[in-house]
Amino acid sequence: MSRFLNRTSFGKPENKGNLLSNNEAEALLNDWVKNEKLIFHMRQVAHLMKTWAVLKENLSETEAEAWYQAGLLHDADWEKFPDMHCSYIIEKLEELNVDPAVIQCIASHGPAHFGFEPVTKMDKMIYAFDELSGFIHAVSLLRPTGYEGMEVKTVKKRLKTPSFAAQVSREDIADAVSRIDISLEELIEFIIANQLR
């Protein structure tokens, strides 16, 4: 379950640059999330976000940590506080004085569900990676070689099969891709090539 946030700003400007330590982020993740599949999904999105930030946005490893942390925690409240997703994680990170860009990014990962439109490139990329990376992982589970040798056309064919991974919103994927300067094919290729190993 999700709900509109009815908000347009997140965090405080003076907290720009503040991130949780790796230990703090992991502790929050481990405290709130027990489902291993969900943990894998969050780690996968975090990995893709950081890799994109470094390879495509030319950000430093340090700058890319904000992208990583947004990906790592974007679904942190989904399991424990389903009625508060993603309000609860946003409020928690605001209490912890985390960079507002990270909090806004988390608020951006499902505009149809949370009512907040992605603004920055980081916002748009978490939206693009969220549903599509989960879908591609579902495709990999059907293949004896997993991601190895997976082709873009295979993923696109599965996307056109409504009964496959039916819970994944094709509308969200199409909307997310329409907001970035990269084609669906390129994005699929990037996810396959840079998936979490």
CA distance 10 to 91: 9
Q: pLDDT grade, residue 10 (50/70/90)?
A: very high
Q: Name the amino acid, one letter, at 195.
A: Q
Q: Is domain 13-193 classified as CATH 1.10.3210?
A: yes
- Name the one residue in this structure whose structure tokens are 């806004």: 104
Q: What is the pTM of this model?
A: 0.95
pLDDT at 2 over 70: no
Q: Model confidence over 138-181: pLDDT tens digits? A: 999 999 999 999 999 999 999 999 999 999 999 999 999 999 99
Q: Give the domain ranges of the chain.
A: 13-193
CA distance 190 to 52: 9
Q: Please, which residues have CB within 8 angstroms of residue 60's CB and are 6 or more apart in sequence?
A: 54
The closest of 38, 114, 32, 127 to 77, measured between CA atoms, is: 32
* Mean pLDDT across 49-71: 96
- The sign one gets for the Cα dihedral 144, 150, 152, 153 is negative
The closest of 116, 92, 118 to 33, measured between CA atoms, is: 92
